[in-house]
Structure 1
């Protein structure tokens, strides 16, 4: 599975001046969950919001970030849809 950042998520990170360590934690988490089958469902930092036949929406806690992820199993991708900074 591959992780894809939407332009909106990148813009949100830039506008909020997200700390580099939080970005690195997010990238490590994405790396871990994309390499592990069911990785999103088996992480304590991830909360499932909704699921249907070919996609699921998650909220992920990474340091001071809250990230909205949308998985698309038909395309084998995880989209980083939005980023919130506390």
Structure 2
């Protein structure tokens, strides 16, 4: 199966692109770690595959609705961002 065929089938089944799903999943993992651990944001971002904290922060804010620093300080929970 080609990449484009896989992406189309994935989107049809899941409702979003493979990369969109992967990004959302990574941000959910990050959010959990921001709340439950004392790891610095830079370490969390590296462990989830981001080469820079800036790129991670931008993606986190886009997906989760607030910057990672605010998320961990306020212990936010985002019920509207769910894994399928």
TM-score, with length taken from structure 2: 0.38
Considering Cα pairs closer than 8 Å and 6+ residues apart, tell me whether 1 or 2 has the greater RCO: 1
Higher strand residue share: 1
Larger Rg: 2
Higher helix residue share: 2
TM-score, with length taken from structure 1: 0.37
